[in-house]
Amino acid sequence: MGLPSYVVNFDELSDLIKDYLQNGIDVDIGSLSFSTEEIEKLLNDIKGKIQGVDYTNLIDALTALGAKLDALNGNMGVSGTQKIYGEMLEIISATGQYEIKLKAPATGRITGITYSLSTWNYEDSWDLYVGSTKLFSNVRTKEYGEHKHFNVYYPMTSGQEIRFVFNNNSGSSRIVWVDFAVLED
């Protein structure tokens, strides 16, 4: 990463940078931290190029920010063993609900679910349950396989039942493949 070699209005840019650097940066973001080595190196490279600016406060603030981001990374990091459990379901040509059941082999979190079909029909849908909680309701099938990623991983306990319910409203026969992505503690 480097500085741009051409700036359209350098005088205006230099005044803005000088103003920000002279006033310092107040860092109060809780327990976040990250490495500031690259930023410090860049600041030291440009230190002598803009006259009259004291970089000491900025470097100290960036160092403090780095320490806080490191602490956050240690405290908030998601850890465990990522595993995927695949199941297949053969559905006959009759309307109704067809289920794939998975007993959670360990305590952890569900990170996503992937499904695919041998044949597709716009009338069909599916639901996802973890225990008695319905997480996905009437999700329409797509012509191609699909992955649903959980932005917030959903907790599960060892032995808890996870159910993929296929709603065969079209009455077509098919094969359904489902992969349960989990992060085990």
Cα 26 to Cα 171: distance, rounded to the nearest angstrom? 63
CA nearest 183: which of 77, 72, 71? 77
Q: Does the pTM exceed 0.85? A: no
The tokens for 62 are 């960036």
- 130 with 173, same domain? yes
Last residue of a domain, one of 43, 76, 109: 76
CB 128 within 8 A of CB 119: no
Last residue of a domain, one of 29, 47, 76: 76
Residue 129 lies in a domain: yes
| 99 vs 41, higher pLDDT | 99
- 67 with 153, same domain? no
User: Mean pLDDT over residues 125-132, rounded?
Assistant: 96
The alpha carbon torsion through 59, 60, 61, 62 (nearest 10 deg) reads 50
Cα 137 to Cα 174: distance, rounded to the nearest angstrom? 21
Total number of domains in the chain: 2
pLDDT of 163 over the 50 cut: yes
CB atoms within 10 A of CB 166: 22
Cα 50 to Cα 24: distance, rounded to the nearest angstrom? 15
Confidence of residue 48 (pLDDT cuts 50, 70, 90): low
- Could you report the per-residue pLDDT of 65-120, keeping only the tens digit for each? 777 766 665 555 677 889 999 999 999 999 999 999 999 999 999 999 999 999 99
- 105 with 59, same domain? no
- 88 with 133, same domain? yes
Give the H or E element holding residue 141: none
- 108 with 62, same domain? no
Residues in the chain: 185
- 134 with 62, same domain? no
- 42 with 97, same domain? no
Cα 56 to Cα 118: distance, rounded to the nearest angstrom? 64
CB atoms within 10 A of CB 45: 11
CATH number for the domain harbouring residue 103? 2.60.120.730
User: Mean pLDDT over residues 9-13, rounded?
Assistant: 63
Last residue of a domain, one of 44, 76, 108: 76
Q: Which residue range(s) make up the domain with 88?
A: 81-184
pLDDT of 31 over the 80 cut: no
- 124 with 179, same domain? yes
What secondary structure letter does DSSP report for 67? H
CA nearest 18: which of 44, 49, 63? 49
Chain-centre distance for alpha carbon 138: 24
Question: Coil, helix or strand for 124?
Answer: coil
